[in-house]
Structure 1
């Protein structure tokens, strides 16, 4: 009997400790509140300019930032913000229709996640009709596909596969959104199968990821795409999915490593394992997002990881200027088997690559308070 009482008391203390750690992500000092930072950045985006992919179509960084602002408006019940973001989208049905991306690459197909987010929030079917073809064509092999693209498709993967770590957010986000609005498991299952492929091919023994099979460097934002991609999948993937255990294993392995590579300041570097490399904000925000969601959903131990997430958010806010623009954002980056190439990448201010994951964090932290 005494042993049972002791065990129950220990369990109670454990719950209290975990709750106290989660509280670290609910109470921030003035100027660091996620509701304040998120609102400033979301409304800042409303008045921003389009960032076009190859000068022609709405780009993936703009899409992700738009999604983040929409989700922030939805979570905070800011109907005015959602309306303004809809108004920004409206010309894409008319005068800016030419800016709608074509459907032939991971970097452009992911645009479909945006109208699907709008459909999920507003219920307006025209967004659904616009978004779904972007999800479907990611698995519909075109006649002019190369032999290697056809080979990917024959194995059940997207013909757009290329084994770059960037892909695991690009593919995941549009497929999970399609699953959320249709309830059809084929969308989330095929994204999960794709994720397992990338985990098996690119994750290293230390839990981090090479940029590609032929680029053996731990690029910060690239690893951020993997962290955020796994996070989005785990949020949506049914508990009975055959792929869930493998993805969760890869996620845990990565989070443990990222904890070790977090700088004393709370951020992460452009090349994660290089102590002389510069602090990079977009990857840091993606990692913070993965930690926050992991704690919120019970995938990570709050006692161990809540201090990591809080430290990251507090450090991140210091990189937001008075206009709501994030500093030290690595510019768009192709792969290259050259270590110095990553050191030399331009550091942008207000780049949507950085604005987007800051908004994701603001959404996740705001949800924790509800």
Structure 2
């Protein structure tokens, strides 16, 4: 029942705000992509359930952690800024708008790009991925750019957000299945290990309808974006396993099922149908609902989400993805919370 979903969502966010100091995957008091996904999800939860306590927590979080943000960002660590435009609208605190505008200007004018002009995937860790495009970037940075474009009414920023979505869809698409490869190496002109990694697909599945919701207020959404996104989502529905989940590599049903990617895809199916990116067909809603019911048993009594693969760069082989260890993480909590929040908003039942 819906009350059950509300209780579960409350436990998930309650577990996220606990003190997990020193735990890379669960420590929310950092400034990087992992807590960034966590706070983006908390904002979605707060907005969709009208939980004022969550918004208050996020403002406290920003004030507590903003000094950790680097003056010159990297693409992957832009993620926490995605909550700034909404928090500004709720609070009117001018510095939130000013900082969002500053970071958006950096992205458009200074962020490293590949030869195709896609944002290069840069990270805070001591690692470089020159001329590489990763699916993750759409959620970690383009979502923020789209929200800031709407906040300050900048059509050029909205056009850049759409351009980046299209570049990522073009460069990562597997023409045979419609789904996406994890990454693209612009220098080599290949998809490296050519893994159809589930969480990579989830970042774009859930990120694109969130981006479109912002930029369609400023620019028309191109037909190519709609067509490529629909091919992606149709391909993903085709790879859903009979148990309702997706394997950690989409086309390897013998690999372990992965909860964060499954939650992101399912949430994306609902959001996209709502936004008009997908026809409002029952097959998309049914796939999302089936995933929700398969994910619920992976949330324990503490609100901890299990079955989540650890941080995953583009691996050297497809087989290596199945060896990635499983750990609780804020992005696992977050993508699951986003799915729960959308289910609650839609009035979905928590049991069948």
Check conservation: 1:102, 1:108, Cα contact below 8 A.
no
Check conservation: 1:196, 1:243, Cα contact below 8 A.
no
Check conservation: 1:328, 1:347, Cα contact below 8 A.
yes
* Cα distance, 1:69 vs structure 2: 1.2
Query: Which residue number corresponds to residue 76 of structure 1?
Result: 49
Counterparts of 2:20 and 2:101, CA distance in 1:
25
State the TM-score, normalizing by the size of structure 1: 0.80
Q: Deviations over 1:183-226 (max 9, x none)?
A: 22222210110111121111012111111222311111111112
Matched, 1:207 2:183: no
Counterparts of 1:137 and 1:208, CA distance in 2:
31
CA, structure 1 residues 103+361, in 2 after alignment: closer, same or farther (shift >3 Å)? farther
Task: Pick the aligned partner of 1:311 from 258, 283, 290.
Answer: 290
Task: Pick the aligned partner of 1:257 from 235, 238, 263.
Answer: 235
Q: What's the secondary structure of 2:298's corresponding residue?
A: coil
Matched, 1:248 2:219: no
| Greater radius of gyration (CA) | 1
Task: Pick the aligned partner of 1:100 from 55, 65, 69.
Answer: 69
Decide which moves more: 162-171 or 272-281: 162-171
Query: Which residue number corresponds to residue 20 of structure 1?
Result: none
Q: What's the secondary structure of 1:190's corresponding residue?
A: helix
Check conservation: 1:116, 1:132, Cα contact below 8 A.
no
Check conservation: 2:310, 2:326, Cα contact below 8 A.
yes
Tell me how many residue pairs correspond in the alignment.
Answer: 327
CA, structure 1 residues 326+239, in 2 after alignment: closer, same or farther (shift >3 Å)? same
Q: What's the secondary structure of 2:134's corresponding residue?
A: coil
Check conservation: 1:141, 1:159, Cα contact below 8 A.
no
Query: Which residue number corresponds to residue 150 of structure 2?
Result: 180
CA, structure 1 residues 274+158, in 2 after alignment: closer, same or farther (shift >3 Å)? closer
**Structure 1 unmatched runs, 5+:** 1-27
Matches within 5 A, 1:1-370: 28=1, 31=4, 33=5, 35-49=6-20, 57-92=30-65, 97=67, 99-141=68-110, 149=113, 151=115, 155=117, 157-158=118-119, 162-205=132-175, 206-212=177-183, 213-238=191-216, 241=219, 243-298=221-276, 299-349=278-328, 351-369=329-347
Counterparts of 2:294 and 2:70, CA distance in 1:
35
Q: Deviations over 1:260-288 (max 9, x none)?
A: 11111111110110011000011001101
Counterparts of 2:89 and 2:340, CA distance in 1:
19
Counterparts of 1:261 and 1:138, CA distance in 2:
34
* Cα distance, 1:239 vs structure 2: 7.4
Check conservation: 2:247, 2:257, Cα contact below 8 A.
yes
CA, structure 1 residues 279+306, in 2 after alignment: closer, same or farther (shift >3 Å)? same
Counterparts of 1:325 and 1:102, CA distance in 2:
33
Check conservation: 2:305, 2:333, Cα contact below 8 A.
yes
Q: What's the secondary structure of 2:72's corresponding residue?
A: coil
Q: Which structure has the higher relative contact order (CA within 8 Å, separation 6+)?
A: 2
* Cα distance, 1:151 vs structure 2: 4.8
Check conservation: 2:39, 2:80, Cα contact below 8 A.
no
Counterparts of 1:158 and 1:309, CA distance in 2:
30
Query: Which residue number corresponds to residue 187 of structure 2?
Result: none
Query: Which residue number corresponds to residue 127 of structure 2?
Result: none
Aligned alpha-carbon RMSD (Å): 2.6
Q: Deviations over 1:135-156 (max 9, x none)?
A: 22112227xx6xxx4855xx5x
Counterparts of 1:181 and 1:129, CA distance in 2:
11
